[in-house]
Amino acid sequence: MATPSSAFREPSVQSELPARSLQTLLEHPALWRAGQLQRAPAAHPSGFPELDAHLPGGGWPRAGLAECLLDTTGVGELRVLAPLIRALSRSEARWIAWINPPFTPYAPALAALDIDLERMLVISPRTHREAVWALEQTSRSGSCSLALAWLDERQLGPRDTRRLQFAAQQGQMLTCLFRPAQAAATQSMAELRLALAPAGPGRLRIDIRKRRGSWPVSGIEVQVETPDSPEAVYVQLDHWRRQRAAAVTDAVTDAKEPADLAPVDTATALDASPGVSNSPVDAVAPVTH
C-alpha cells in the first residue's frame, strides 16, 4: 500500500500573492496539503480491523463526506456501519439522521444491534431539493453525529457533493451517502469512496476507490454476519418433523385436540427435493383441517 512518503515536503511558497490572501486560501476547509497527512485525521474505528488497516486514520472519518457505492440494497451496507452507529448513538448526545431512506429502518433490528433508538432521526423529504437542504441543515447544525443519506442520483452533481463535504466538515459530522455503483465514474468531492459488493455468505467485499493520502485499494473482505448454512434450514425442519410425529401419536391417544400439522407440510415440501434449490416450495398445498 502506498503510504504518504515522509520525503514529500511542502514546497516553500514563492508567489506574488499577498500573504493574507494566501492565508485565507490555505484556511479553506476543502483544501488540504500533503504535509498535513503526517498528522492522522480524526477517525472512529469501524469495528472491522481488516477495513481499519486501510482507512486513513484507522477508521471512518470523524467529519466529512463518505460515499458507499453499491448495486443493490441488502449486501450488508448498514451492517458494516452498525458498529459505528452503535458507538455514536451511545457516546454522543447528537442525532443520527436517516435522510430519505429507501425503506423503513426497522426498530427491533437496530435495538438488537444495541443501537440507542432515541438518537435516530428519520427525515423523509418529498423532493431532491428538500433532501439536499435537509442534509445541509443537519450537517451545519452541529447537532448530528452521523447522517445516512439516499439522494436522487440523476439530480446529484459534483457541486452538491462539494457543498455536502463542506457542510459536514463545518458541523463535525460524517455524512454517508449511498449511491449506485455506476456513480464511481462521476467526479465527487467526497473524501472517502467505497464500493461494496456481496462476497459469499455473510461477507462483504470492499474496494476503496478514493481515500486521502494514498492510492485506491481493492479486495478487502469483511465478515459482517456469522454465516448461515442452508443445512440449518433442514435441521430446523427435521426438528419440526419429529415434533409432528409426537403430535400425531398424541392425536391418536387424545383425539379431542387435533394437531397442527401445517409446518410439517412445508418441511415435507422442502424435503421432496433436498440439496438443490428450494424452488418447489410453491407447490405445497395449503393445509386445512
Partner 1 sequence: MRWLAVHCPTLPLEVFTLREPGGAGIAPPAGSEPSPALPRVVIEDNRVVLADPAAVAAGIQPGSTLATAHAICPALRHYRREPDQEARWLRRLAEALHAFSSQVSLVPPAGVVVEIGASLRLFGGEEALVAAVRAACLALGHQVVCRTAMTPLAALALARAECPEPTKALTEALTEAPTEALTEALTKVPLAAAAIESDRLTPAIIEQLAGMGVRTLGQLLALPSEGLASRFGSDLVDYLARLTGTRPDPRQALVPAPYFRRNLHLLEPVRSRDVLLGLMTRLLNALQHWLLARNLGVEELAWRFTAAGRARPPLVVGVRFSTAQQRQARLLEISRLELDRTQLPDEVIGIGLSAERLQSWRGDSTTLFRWLPGTAQPTELGRLVDRLEARLGRGTCWSIRARDQHMPEAAWQPVAPLRAVAPLRAVAPLRGVAPLRAGPTAKPGPTARSGPRPPRATGPAPRPGRRPIWLFVPPRPIRSSQLTLLRGPERIETGWWQPDTATRTDPPEVAQTTALPQARWRDYYVARLVNGAECWVFVDTHTRWYLHGYFG
In the region spanning residues 1 to 60, those forming contacts with partner 1, defined by CB under 8 A, are: none
Q: How many CB atoms lie within 10 A of CB 254?
A: 9
Alpha carbon 219 to its chain's center: 17
- Cell for 13? 511558497
Give the residue among 64, 202, 79 at the shortest CA–CA distance from 145: 64
Contacts of 8 (CB under 8 A, 6+ apart): 34, 35
Least separation in angstroms between residue 6's CB and partner 1 is: 29
**281 near partner 1, judged by CB under 8 A:** yes
Among 108, 219, 274, 275, binds partner 1 (CB under 8 A): 108
Pick 4 or 125: Cβ nearer partner 1: 125
Give the C-alpha separation, 151 to 153, whole Å: 6
Pick 7 or 112: Cβ nearer partner 1: 112
Give the C-alpha separation, 52 to 204, whole Å: 14
Helix axes 262-272, 230-253, angle to 10 degrees: 130
Among 243, 271, 272, 273, binds partner 1 (CB under 8 A): 243
Among 56, 57, 83, 138, binds partner 1 (CB under 8 A): 138
Among 11, 18, 274, 286, binds partner 1 (CB under 8 A): 286
Site for partner 1 in 162-191 (CB under 8 A): 172
Least separation in angstroms between residue 9's CB and partner 1 is: 31
**65 near partner 1, judged by CB under 8 A:** no
Pick 34 or 197: Cβ nearer partner 1: 197
Amino acid at 52: D
Q: How many CB atoms lie within 10 A of CB 199?
A: 17
Site for partner 1 in 75-104 (CB under 8 A): 75-79, 88, 91-95, 101-104
Give the C-alpha separation, 13 to 52, whole Å: 35
Least separation in angstroms between residue 244's CB and partner 1 is: 8
DSSP state at residue 227: P
Among 22, 201, 215, 271, binds partner 1 (CB under 8 A): 201
Least separation in angstroms between residue 20's CB and partner 1 is: 26
